[in-house]
């Protein structure tokens, strides 16, 4: 059988094919392995053929006479068991290191993300606490630009900020999208006015952010009569609740006041925008097991969400 010579360099694809081979042997054939592997017989057959080409010899006989291993196949099966067992032992030993996690995790978070319904940040912190009960977690609530600077100079290990721009010295991991809408309070004249009766938003005083926004988001503020500013979303909420201003707030942050009847969204289909958030870390930073564990927890939580778990 011709194929590329196997020189001992194992790839992820090789490991996948070896796991399929083990399942086929232990199931007693291709058909029986379908249930175990949850892939089609055709996919199993292709993987086995590719593995034989990769190794350079036939591993098994399959046909009307049934399934059986060749002499080489028997030896490869034994080697496969040893290899996969070693990999599991390696994983177990590495995981055991997490039980001895020590040190600090310094996190910078933009204000008012705690009400996000999916709570990736919170759940990842919970997992970190479980595997590293001695880790000291320090959270700093700061404006995005201050978080970026603190991550760049090493004062913070990781930050959660709006992803309006990409700085050369930072790595970005997408976190989630945040939906914002235009709100007024129940003490504002617009609260009981039908959206179709609102002639112009410029007729009403508005609070606008004093923090950085993308060009796309800034366009949503152009129709407003901005007469007040706030350095964070909590400040925006304070002014909206006076009944004298309208302003944009994240939907999750305003949800409590909306449920209590103290705020409403103004023409929500027309006045809304999305802010992408990202996790930032410094490029080229020294390896940090505490930080790596936290980031891996975030990635796993995102994977679970994508799979609908």
Banded pLDDT at 225 (limits 50, 70, 90): very high
Mean pLDDT of 246-262: 95
Mean pLDDT, rounded, for 179-185: 97
Residue 128 pLDDT more than 80? yes
pLDDT tens for 135-152 read 999 999 888 889 999 999
The ranges of the chain annotated as CATH 3.40.190.10 are 104-175+277-306
Amino acid 189: pLDDT: 96
The per-residue pLDDT for range 71-102, each reduced to its tens digit, is 999 999 999 999 888 887 777 666 666 557 78
Q: In the chain, pLDDT over 70 holds for what percent of residues?
A: 93
pLDDT, the chain, mean: 88
Please state the rounded mean pLDDT for residues 203-228: 92
Residue 309 has pLDDT above 60, yes or no: no
What is the CATH class of 12-94?
mainly alpha
Q: Is residue 34 pLDDT above 90, yes or no?
A: no
pLDDT of residue 151: 93
Looking at domain 177-275, its CATH class is alpha beta
Which CATH number fits the domain 104-175+277-306, given the four candidates 3.40.190.10, 1.10.10.10, 3.30.565.10, 1.10.30.50?
3.40.190.10
Q: Which whole number is the average pLDDT over 43-67?
A: 86
CA distances (Å), 300 to each of 156, 221, 304, 306, in order? 22, 36, 6, 10
Q: How far is CA 212 from the centre of its chain?
A: 23
Minimum mean pLDDT range among 61-65, 109-113, 177-181, 248-252: 61-65
Residue range(s) occupied by CATH 1.10.10.10 in the chain: 12-94
Alpha carbon 20 to its chain centroid, in Å, reads 30
pLDDT reported for residue 184? 97
> For residue 7, what pLDDT is reported?
61
Report, as an integer, the average pLDDT of 173-196: 94
Q: Per-residue pLDDT for 1 more than 50?
A: no
What are the residue ranges of CATH 3.40.190.290 in the chain? 177-275
Look at the block and give the residue holding tokens 């591993």.
59
Answer whether 188's CB lies under 8 Å from 244's CB.
Answer: yes
**pLDDT for residue 305 is more than 70:** yes
* Structural contact between residues 173 and 279, judged by C-beta atoms closer than 8 angstroms: yes
Distance CA 34, CA 77 (A): 19
pLDDT at residue 14, rounded to an integer: 87
Answer yes or no: is pLDDT of 2 > 50: no
Average of per-residue pLDDT across 40-62: 89
Segment holding 277, helix H or strand E? strand 272-282
């Amino acid at each position: 059988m011709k194929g590329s010579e196997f020189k001992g360099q194992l790839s992820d694809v090789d490991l996948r094919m070896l796991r399929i081979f083990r399942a086929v042997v232990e199931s007693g054939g291709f058909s029986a392995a379908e249930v175990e592997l949850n892939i089609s017989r055709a996919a199993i057959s292709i993987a086995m053929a590719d593995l034989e080409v990769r190794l350079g010899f036939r591993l098994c006989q399959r046909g009307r006479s049934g399934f059986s291993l060749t002499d080489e196949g028997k030896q490869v099966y034994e080697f496969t068991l040893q290899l996969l067992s070693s990999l599991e032992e390696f994983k177990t030993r590495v995981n055991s290191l997490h039980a001895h996690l020590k040190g600090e995790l310094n996190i910078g978070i933009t204000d008012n993300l705690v009400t996000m319904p999916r709570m990736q940040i919170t759940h990842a912190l919970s997992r970190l606490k479980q595997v590293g009960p001695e880790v000291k977690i320090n959270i700093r609530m700061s404006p995005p630009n201050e978080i970026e600077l603190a991550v760049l100079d090493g004062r913070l290990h990781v930050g959660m900020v709006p992803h309006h721009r990409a700085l050369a010295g930072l790595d970005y991991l997408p976190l989630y999208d945040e939906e914002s809408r235009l709100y007024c309070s129940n003490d504002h004249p617009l609260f009981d006015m039908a959206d179709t009766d609102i002639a112009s938003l410029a007729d009403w005083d508005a609070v606008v952010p004093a923090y950085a926004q993308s060009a796309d988001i800034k366009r949503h503020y152009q129709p407003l009569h901005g007469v007040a500013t706030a350095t964070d979303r909590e400040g925006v909420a304070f002014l909206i609740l006076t009944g004298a201003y309208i302003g944009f707030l994240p939907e999750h942050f305003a949800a409590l006041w909306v449920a209590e009847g103290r705020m409403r969204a103004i023409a929500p289909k027309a006045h809304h925008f999305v802010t992408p958030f990202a996790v930032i870390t410094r490029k080229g930073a020294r390896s940090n097991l505490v930080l790596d564990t936290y980031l891996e927890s975030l990635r796993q939580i995102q994977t679970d969400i994508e799979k609908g778990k």
